[in-house]
């Protein structure tokens, strides 16, 4: 049973466009929802995170939208840049342990 | 520099051999984790440790052994490697945030750069 479902698997966006990645979770006990960015040959690195008592969090061009009742959260990348091309993972965390989505490979075309 | 160091970066071993992947962190974080990354499966938790001498199984622990005698080190051993264990292995750490608060809040994972293991 996959506890965190992520979509799409891959995404191609033109430079300056908006990239949207969606995740859905099942366990209502999760209490921390981070997004990680991974470049080839590197480990994932925290991009932005949200707690379930907040519906939206914005940091620069990156925004998390959180819908607790629907058990869904999404990452929006505004004004997408070629340097944003990477793999993005959503995660849901409880008691220190994180469950990850399968990842989205984002390609931003110049 | 502070951070998480994994070694080796690349390893090729034969089926049936024992292999140990090393992980060292300089932050004195309480929690340490081992994940494996496979195409189509994202990151799956193998084992984790909440403190020295405290370890617990994750989602896919079979065929792996861990130990944590010191806070900074968390080695992962494949007792008898199989081809299905060919993967990229990531070590991560996190601090236990909000220890003086109730409830305890989670904090982000800090990952190493991984070990690419090939079992032939």
pLDDT for A17-48, tens place per residue?
A: 999 999 999 999 898 999 999 999 999 999 99
Given a cut of 60, is residue B99 above it in pLDDT? Answer: no
Interchain contact A33–B (C-beta under 8 A): no
- Cis link prior to A74 (omega < 30° from 0)? no
Strand order from edge to edge, sheet including A62-67: A4-7, A19-25, A72-77, A62-67, A56-59
Q: Give A46's contacts in chain B (Cβ within 8 Å).
A: 108-110
CB A37 within 8 Å of CB A45: yes
pLDDT confidence band for B106 (50 / 70 / 90): low
Using CB atoms, which residue from B40, B94, B111 is nearest to A96?
B94
CA gap A78, A61 in Å, rounded: 5
**Cβ-defined contact of A49 to B40 (cutoff 8 Å):** no
Q: What's the pLDDT score for residue B96?
A: 67
Nearest CA in chain B to A30: B106
Using CB atoms, which residue from B31, B35, B41 is nearest to A102?
B41
The residue that leads in pLDDT, B1 or A42, is A42
Strand partners, A37: A45, A88
Rg, C-alpha atoms of chain A: 13
**Cβ-defined contact of B112 to A43 (cutoff 8 Å):** yes
CB A20 within 8 Å of CB A88: no
Tell me the three state secondary structure of residue A82.
Answer: helix
pLDDT in tens, B33-60: 999 999 877 899 999 998 899 999 999 9
CA gap B94, B108 in Å, rounded: 6
**Cβ-defined contact of A36 to B113 (cutoff 8 Å):** no
A-contacting residues in B 47-86 (Cβ below 8 Å)? 48, 50, 58-59
**Cβ-defined contact of B109 to A99 (cutoff 8 Å):** no
CA gap B86, B80 in Å, rounded: 12
Chain centre to alpha carbon of residue A61: 13
CA gap A7, A59 in Å, rounded: 22
* CB neighbour burial string for B35-72, b if at least 16 within 10 angstroms, e if fewer: bbbeeeebbbbbbbbbebeebeebebbeebebbbeebb
The residue among A34, A82, A89, A23 whose CA lies nearest residue A57 is A34
Mutate to test the interface with A, among B47, B103, B106 (most CBs of A within 10 A): B106
Kind and range of the H or E element at A6? strand A4-7
Interchain contact A40–B (C-beta under 8 A): no
**Cβ-defined contact of A89 to B114 (cutoff 8 Å):** no
Using CB atoms, which residue from A45, A93, A97 is nearest to B111?
A45
CB B108 within 8 Å of CB B2: no
pLDDT in tens, chain A (110 residues): 568 999 999 999 999 999 999 999 999 989 899 999 999 999 999 999 998 889 999 999 999 999 999 999 999 999 999 999 999 999 999 888 899 999 999 999 99
Strand partners, B57: B47
């Amino acid at each position: 049973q996959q506890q965190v479902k992520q979509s799409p698997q891959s995404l191609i966006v033109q430079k300056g466009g908006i990239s949207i990645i969606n995740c859905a979770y099942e366990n209502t006990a999760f209490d921390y929802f981070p997004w990680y960015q991974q470049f080839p040959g590197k480990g994932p690195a925290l991009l932005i995170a949200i707690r379930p008592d907040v519906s939206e969090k914005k940091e620069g061009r990156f925004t998390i939208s959180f819908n607790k009742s629907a058990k869904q959260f999404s990452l929006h990348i505004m004004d997408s840049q070629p340097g944003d091309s990477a793999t993005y993972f959503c995660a849901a965390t409880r008691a220190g342990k994180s469950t990850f989505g399968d990842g989205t490979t984002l390609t931003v075309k110049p | 520099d502070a951070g998480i160091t994994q070694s080796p970066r690349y390893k090729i071993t034969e089926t049936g051999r024992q292999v140990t992947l090393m992980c060292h962190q300089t932050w004195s974080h309480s929690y340490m984790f081992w994940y494996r990354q496979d195409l189509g499966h994202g990151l799956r938790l193998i084992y984790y440790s909440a403190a020295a001498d405290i370890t617990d199984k994750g989602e896919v622990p079979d065929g792996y052994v861990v130990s944590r005698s010191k806070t900074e080190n968390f080695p992962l051993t494949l007792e008898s490697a199989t081809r299905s264990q060919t993967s990229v292995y990531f070590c991560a750490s996190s601090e236990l945030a909000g220890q003086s608060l109730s409830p305890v809040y989670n904090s982000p994972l800090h990952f190493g750069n991984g070990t690419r293991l090939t079992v032939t």
